[in-house]
Amino acid sequence: MPKAFQSSSRPFHHPQPQSPLHCGAVSLEELARNFGTPLYVYSADQILERLEMFTQALAGRDALVCYAVKANSALAILKLLAARGAGFDIVSGGELERVLAAAPEAADRVVFSGVGKTAAEIDRALDVGILEFNVESESELELLAARAAKRKRKARFALRVNPDVFAETHPYISTGLREHKFGIDIRRAASLYESAARNRWLEPHGISVHIGSQIRSADPFGAALERVYKLVTQLARKGILIRSIDAGGGLGIDYHAGKSDPAARVRDYAAAVDRALAGFDGQLLLEPGRFLVAQAGALVTRVLIVKQNGRKTFVITDAAMNDLIRPALYQAHHEIVPVQPRTGRARAVDVVGPVCESGDFFARDRKLPPVQPGDLVALLDAGAYGMAQSSNYNTRVRPAEVLVEGRNARLIRRRETIADLLAPEMV
pLDDT for 292-335, tens place per residue? 999 999 999 999 999 999 999 999 999 999 999 999 998 999 99
20 pLDDT above the threshold of 90: yes
> Which architecture, in CATH terms, is 58-292?
Alpha-Beta Barrel (3.20)
Element (H, E) at 122: helix 119-128
140 pLDDT above the threshold of 80: yes
Active site residues: 356
177 pLDDT above the threshold of 50: no
- Mean residue pLDDT of the chain comes to 93
Judge contact between 203 and 154, C-beta under 8 A.
yes
Confidence of residue 171 (pLDDT cuts 50, 70, 90): very low
Confidence of residue 172 (pLDDT cuts 50, 70, 90): very low
Q: Which of 77, 67, 118 shows the shortest CA–CA distance to 94?
A: 118
What is d(CA 66, CA 85) in angstroms, rounded to the nearest whole number? Answer: 9
Residues 62-112 pLDDT 10s: 999 999 999 999 999 999 999 999 999 999 999 999 999 999 999 999 999
pLDDT at 201: 98
Comparing 360 with 3, which gets the higher pLDDT? Answer: 360
User: Residues of the chain with pLDDT > 90: what percent?
Assistant: 87
Residues 209-219 pLDDT 10s: 998 888 888 88
Confidence of residue 183 (pLDDT cuts 50, 70, 90): confident
200 pLDDT above the threshold of 70: yes
pLDDT at 173: 39
pLDDT at 17: 87
What is d(CA 80, CA 236) in angstroms, rounded to the nearest whole number? Answer: 38
168 pLDDT above the threshold of 80: no
| Residues linked to residue 23 through DSSP beta bridges, in sequence order | 12, 26
Q: Which of 257, 262, 258, 213 shows the shortest CA–CA distance to 363?
A: 257
Residues 3-15 pLDDT 10s: 655 556 899 999 9
Lowest mean pLDDT among 232-236, 255-259, 405-409: 255-259
What type of residue is 80?
L
Residues 235-288 pLDDT 10s: 999 999 999 999 999 999 999 987 789 999 999 999 999 999 999 999 999 999
| Ranges of each domain in the chain | 12-42+296-422, 58-292
pLDDT at 232: 97
144 pLDDT above the threshold of 80: yes
Can you tell me the mean pLDDT for 408-426? 98
Q: In whole angstroms, how far apart are CA 110 and each of 103, 158, 388?
A: 11, 13, 19
pTM for this predicted structure? 0.94
Can you tell me the mean pLDDT for 361-369? 97
Can you tell me the mean pLDDT for 192-205? 97
For residue 120, how many other CB atoms are within 10 A of its CB?
10
Q: Which of 380, 325, 294 shows the shortest CA–CA distance to 72?
A: 294
163 pLDDT above the threshold of 90: no
pLDDT at 174: 42
Assign domain 12-42+296-422 to a CATH class: mainly beta
Query: Directed axis angle between helix 186-197 and helix 138-151, to 10°?
Result: 20
Can you tell me the mean pLDDT for 101-129? 97
User: Residues of the chain with pLDDT > 70: what percent?
Assistant: 94
For residue 425, how many other CB atoms are within 10 A of its CB?
6
Percent helix, percent strand, percent coil in the chain, to nearest 5: 35, 25, 40
Can you tell me the mean pLDDT for 384-396? 98
Confidence of residue 176 (pLDDT cuts 50, 70, 90): very low
What is d(CA 263, CA 49) in angstroms, rounded to the nearest whole number? Answer: 9
DSSP secondary structure, 138-187, as one string: HHHHHHHHHHHHHHT--EEEEEEEE------S-GGGB--STTSSSSEEHH
